[in-house]
Homo-oligomer: A and B are copies of this chain.
């Protein structure tokens, strides 16, 4: 199918040396001294023949693949995921590693694509991005000493290697800023249960407490995170009630739909109600008003996670037991004072 390509043997012949020498030269093998003119001859020959090493063959010999598998739960077209991937990429490129996307994640980890890939030498390690790890999966990975890292806003209980985040300080800052403008009546709209959500909700409660503000239960608006229903649920919660001075929205979508609600009903933002969104998207600065947001350090999460994975791949389990914790940031825009 693919026509025969030039191999290191060809280069050796062309340069009048042995195949071993070609390998020594091209890999700059530090354990072996090569006469400069020999070296040059090899390099010239390689260039002349337009030689490229066959990574597959090399990797086979070296018993590694020089790529890492990326696994996600999120829709791929999800901004946080992709942004974290950009951070990962930055770290990988440096070391000449490549990214393999792993899709099929079966119900049993044993037949997840990424496990097959790992055992098939297609990837050397695994990065879980924005994916909640099941207890048993973590156990399986660690039992088999598979290099992996979880990159996720939320802590993954029991996962040995992870990058997680803390948003409490950023939310505290956001609410402090509101308070400085005389706003004390800050509600919360979103989900109140579940892992990810409860991290957000509890950050809100933490921030209120730190700011010595009361959480009023009549200003807590439970909304399920289902794209098609969010707006209706918001209407159900907010129609005809007395609104608080500010609302913190659980995530990007809820922030958008809440703004939609305000715009639709002629409620001025932030004059009547301030709006703050938890989560990151590039569209928050394209609306009217632009939406203030507490945002995760996505790029750095990717970068740091990938670096951690390299440590594990290089030195094995046992290094760096501590999770990396990165801080969220408050990005004030027009929707809040």
Contacts and interface: CB of A to CB of B under 8 A. Distances in A.
Interface of A: 1-3, 5, 52-57, 59-60, 63-65, 67, 76-77, 79, 82-83, 85-86, 89, 93, 98-104, 116-117, 119-122, 124, 145, 253, 256-257, 259-261, 263-264, 281-283, 286-288, 313, 316
Nearest to A334: B264
Contact of A101 (B55, B79, B98, B117): B98
B120 A53 contact: yes
A303 B208 CA distance: 49
B104 A89 contact: no
Contacts of A93: 103-104
Given A53-B120, A83-B77, A89-B101, A1 B63 contact: yes
Given A77-B82, A98-B117, A260-B287, 4 more contacts: A2-B63, A54-B120, A263-B287, A264-B288
A261 B289 CA distance: 10
A77 B282 contact: yes
The 5 closest A-B pairs by CB, nearest first: A52-B119, A263-B288, A77-B82, A256-B286, A55-B120
Nearest to A115: B52
A253 B259 CA distance: 18
A140 to B, nearest CB: 12
A100 B103 contact: no
B89 A103 contact: yes
Contacts of A54: 60, 120-121
